[in-house]
Structure 1
Amino acid sequence: MDESRRNDTYYLAAAIVDPKDLTVLRKRLGGLLLPGQYELHFKKEMPSRRKEILSRLVEWQAKAVIHQASCGRDVEAARQACVARLAEDLIDVNCVRLVLDSREERDVFDMRTIRTTLGKYPRASGFIYEHMSSTRESLLWIADAVAWSHGAGGDWARRVRPVVEEVVWVDIRP
């Protein structure tokens, strides 16, 4: 799971990967790195590289979901509303693990939100979640590419559309 923000809209993208595909997809993603690169970060890539990466994700039939919310000045409230809804949706489809791109000291907010959400679902006791750096988990690169591209709109959103299984608008009002 990774994020992007464009103006007053917050985008939270989660790559959906079947456990049997983890190793192959990680290897393929690693093959996209240029010499000296430790991670793919869409914001830093040149447009030609972005197009190449998105083409590979489409070719590999990568899948992701996007949760988005209006954020105004309260980006954290939008994020936590999206995190809660994403966790609920993942539990409902029997997902077993969620990896969130680490935001260092702010990870505590995500953990609190997910613990609260899990408390509503007794069957979710096997659901695992953790924060990792995108240099340690290459599958986060998919979420980064999807969130950035969808949020950018236009041709970028069109290019990433085959990867996006669902876009969910999340209301942040209590």
Structure 2
Amino acid sequence: MSDTAISFRIRPDPHTPFFSYSPQPGPPHAVAPLVNGSHAPAADRGAETRVVTSCANETALEGVVVIGFVDESKVKGLLVACTVVNPADLAATRRALNDLRMKGQRRIHFTKESDSRRRAICSMLCTLDVEVTIYKARDRDPRVARAAALAAVVADLAAANATQLIIERDDPAAAADRATLYRAVHDHGVPNLSYDLRRPHEEPGLWISDAVAWCYTKDRQWRGRVQPLIKAVREV
């Protein structure tokens, strides 16, 4: 299973949205290296998930720069999850995720975990300073659906002044993904937004999107375990 998700740093004002189509200019930031660190519980977990079809006319967060991690599920049509992380929190987030691995594991893959492990992982994820947006594709053609979802991800990341987008590599779709991302980055005027396709074991940030996408496609109980992380569900 593959899942697409975006995580955002918890906003200081719970009434201020992350997404906006009025991005603030700012210099590109380098991705923080993986170093020792600790993770702190995220605040403001009481807000309900909003179902939206667009994010126009919302206010941008000044000075906030984020990195997006995308994975997808194909269990019930295409569903993409995008997890956005503030670069200042990235090292601690990677550290916390790596600490979840069992001996011999290269990565966290939710389809291969036991239910007890899934519950423990979900509990830890809800302490991270991240947010996830779900993108549900309407089109049944997988190529059209994937292109629409990725374009929507780029639009939201552009509004959030993101500097980097990392997507789980799907070899059969890699060429098409790069073409879609190239068009979307230029359509939204964000040439400084870099994008990369990576294997799951190469980037722990992808594991959050994988877990959230898996839970979202399951029953209400599993969806509820990651609900505190989900800030919006978009149909694209």
**TM-score > 0.5 by shorter chain:** yes
Query: Residue in 2 aligned with 1:93?
Result: 160
Amino acid at match of 1:23: A
Query: Residue in 1 aligned with 2:121?
Result: 53
2: CA distance between counterparts of 1:149 and 1:101? 18
Unpaired runs of 5+ residues, structure 1, are none
Query: Residue in 2 aligned with 1:2?
Result: 71
Deviates more, 1:22-31 or 1:55-64: 55-64
Greater percentage in strand = 1
Greater percentage in helix = 1
- Percentage of pairs with the same residue: 31
Amino acid at match of 2:132: A
- Which of 19, 29, 34 is the matching residue for 2:97? 29
Contact (CA 8 Å) 1:3, 1:147: kept in 2 or not?
Answer: yes
Amino acid at match of 2:219: G
Query: Residue in 1 aligned with 2:191?
Result: 125
Amino acid at match of 1:152: K
Query: Residue in 2 aligned with 1:79?
Result: 146
TM-score by length of 2: 0.68
Greater relative contact order (Cα < 8 A, sep 6+)? 1
1: CA distance between counterparts of 2:218 and 2:74? 9
Once the two structures are TM-superposed, the CA of residue 71 in structure 1 deviates from its matched residue by 4.4
Query: Residue in 2 aligned with 1:44?
Result: 112
Once the two structures are TM-superposed, the CA of residue 12 in structure 1 deviates from its matched residue by 0.4
Contact (CA 8 Å) 1:13, 1:147: kept in 2 or not?
Answer: yes
1: CA distance between counterparts of 2:84 and 2:231? 9
Runs of 4+ in 1 over 3 A off after TM superposition: none
1:125-156 CA-to-partner distances (Å, cap 9, x unmatched) read 11010000111101100010011111113111
Once the two structures are TM-superposed, the CA of residue 70 in structure 1 deviates from its matched residue by 3.0
Contact (CA 8 Å) 2:136, 2:235: kept in 1 or not?
Answer: yes
Contact (CA 8 Å) 1:5, 1:151: kept in 2 or not?
Answer: no
Query: Residue in 1 aligned with 2:203?
Result: 137
2: CA distance between counterparts of 1:88 and 1:33? 33
Equivalences, count: 167
Report 1:107-126 matches (<5 A): 107-122=174-189, 124-126=190-192
Amino acid at match of 1:31: D
RMSD between superposed Cα atoms in Å: 1.2
Counterparts in 2 of 1:129 and 1:37: CA distance versus 1, 3 Å: same
Unpaired runs of 5+ residues, structure 2, are 1-69
TM-score by length of 1: 0.91
Contact (CA 8 Å) 1:100, 1:131: kept in 2 or not?
Answer: yes
1: CA distance between counterparts of 2:134 and 2:108? 19
Query: Residue in 1 aligned with 2:8?
Result: none
